[in-house]
Structure 1
Amino acid sequence: MNAVYETVVVNLNEDIATVTLNRPDALNALNSVLMKELNQALQEVSLNEAIKIVVLKGEGRAFSSGGDIKEMLQLNDKDQFFSIMEQINSLVTTFYTMPKLTIAAVNGAAAGLGLSLALAADYVICQDDSKLAMNFIGIGLVPDGGGHFHLKRRIGEEKAKQLIWEGKILNGKEAMEVGIVDEVVDDIYAAVQKQINIWKTKPILSMIETKNIFTTLNKDRLSTILQLETNAQWKMRQTYDHQEGIKAFVEKRKPQFLGK
């Protein structure tokens, strides 16, 4: 690894890479810099044939609170919007399709785009006091980052719709009951190490080949969903309800949606 990043830390230990989102003061909110650097870091790890397992985690009190609202408020230019969405789509595709076994270690919040990113992992571990939410509905938007794809993959279309429409904040136990995470623990890093140890007793190259078969089958569908999400997100950004949702969020009050 030659690159030095401002918002991402990459640690390599034999055949394991730990990639850490490193904007703790902003709860690892995904701004354009973090998305670009994370995408670059994951692509570099993906090409490293020595690496077999990748752990994605967040520094500080959260995995990721989602897209950076402050940056979103300044995102009025159409070309700039589609450029950001392209970065999101590339990032999620890179993480989902990388020829490695991947773990998302969710501490604290994983919300919005942050949750979409976590769900792209092969194995999702969260703490029992974590807060997970596909909460785009609260600001009049639809999930992006492949949220529709990953939720359907994990829990099916009907449950995915209900989860998206409700926008409820789930603790670890609730997320496990719904089926969007694979394990809920008190000590997340001990659990990550335990899962790594389990995988390392198995023929990992065989496991990676199985993953590659599934991701090859699903890549076109993911690409289609990402494009649909991009177009829907732009459309929803023009609505009254989105503007009201953002305004209410900034003013810390309940939004008054009108369905228009």
Structure 2
Amino acid sequence: MSIRIDDDKRVRTLTLDRPDALNAFNEALYDATTEALRDAAADPDVAVVLLTGSGRAFSAGTDLREMAARTSDPDFTPGKHGFTGLIDALLEFPKPLICAVNGIGLGIGATVLGFADLAFMANTARLKCPFTGLGVAPEAASSVLFPRLIGRQNAAWVLMSSEWIDAAQAKEMGLVWQVCEPEELMDTARRHAEALAAKPISSLVAVKRTMTAPLRAEIDAARERENACFAELMGGPANIEALTAFAQGREPDFTRLPA
């Protein structure tokens, strides 16, 4: 299994469990996480979901080897749900979602925080949205969720720079709610999860629905724009240079590419 599922006190903990790959999302992990969220949404004994990672990473984002195969291997077989299915599940998840960022979070390992109702982060963890470094576009409605969550200029830097954001910066921006010592992260996140889980699920769902409903149309429109830009850029000169540089273990050089 690429994900571990544990239940306690109406809190379902989902632990991304590809530690050797820094919990990068391959097709199997996208499918497993999508199905785990859908199962938790439908389970009357689950009030809150707590999402974290195993080992030293929260998630290193999309598995770049599979990304390269998607553009170059005619026999590449996508998963049942894939990236789009996971974003659908996050968007539709009706109950509180808490993220405990235990280590590095890249790509979807960072943009998932746009869907979190509460986020906790170890003070040793770091986040990065590497889209410009990969020659692609934003994802997961981050182009609308991040400006709302952390402000336009913070979002512009996070989404455009492909620079690491440390825990103190993430807290100052409002990308996460609390920063903890690594050994205290899960206890702190779980304590807050259990406090919410003691409340009536119907009320939790109502609060979340009334908070998120006004954003739904904006999120849907943002995803369409992002997907169109991503499709245009995927496999283009900048993306090929980024993936080639990754495979060769060097930094990409975009300076000689056409605009």
The answer, yes or no, to whether TM exceeds 0.5 is yes
- CA offsets 1:159-204 (integer angstroms, 9 cap, x no match): 3122211111011111112221111100211211231244356566
| Worse-superposed segment, 196-205 or 107-116 | 196-205
Residue aligning to 1:69: 64
Residue aligning to 1:3: none
Residue aligning to 1:119: 114
Stretches of structure 2 lacking an aligned partner (at least 5 in a row): none
Stretches of structure 1 lacking an aligned partner (at least 5 in a row): 1-5
Count of residue pairs the alignment pairs up: 255
Residue aligning to 2:124: 129
| Worse-superposed segment, 72-81 or 178-187 | 72-81
Residue aligning to 1:57: 52
Change (3 A) 1:88 1:80: farther
Q: Secondary structure at the match of 1:100?
A: coil
* Equivalent AA in structure 1 for residue 221 of structure 2: T
Please report the TM-score for the alignment, with normalisation by the length of structure 2. 0.89
> Identity over aligned residues, as a percent?
26
Q: Distance in 2 between matches of 1:161 and 1:81?
A: 34
Residue aligning to 2:216: 219
Change (3 A) 1:14 1:198: closer
* Structure of higher RCO (CA pairs closer than 8 Å, 6+ residues apart): 2
Question: Does the CA contact (< 8 Å) of 2:11 and 2:194 recur in 1?
Answer: no
* Equivalent AA in structure 1 for residue 188 of structure 2: A
2:243 corresponds to 1:246: yes
Change (3 A) 1:220 1:89: farther
1:51-200 alignment to 2 at 5 Å? 51-76=46-71, 87-186=82-181, 187-200=184-197
Q: Distance in 2 between matches of 1:57 and 1:117?
A: 11
Question: Does the CA contact (< 8 Å) of 1:124 and 1:183 recur in 2?
Answer: yes
Q: Distance in 2 between matches of 1:117 and 1:36?
A: 15
Question: Does the CA contact (< 8 Å) of 2:27 and 2:78 recur in 1?
Answer: no
Q: Secondary structure at the match of 2:245?
A: helix
* Equivalent AA in structure 2 for residue 176 of structure 1: K
* Equivalent AA in structure 2 for residue 225 of structure 1: A
Please report the TM-score for the alignment, with normalisation by the length of structure 1. 0.89
- CA offsets 1:77-124 (integer angstroms, 9 cap, x no match): 799999679732221231233121110011111111211123311011
Change (3 A) 1:85 1:68: farther
Question: Does the CA contact (< 8 Å) of 2:137 and 2:226 recur in 1?
Answer: yes
Change (3 A) 1:98 1:192: same
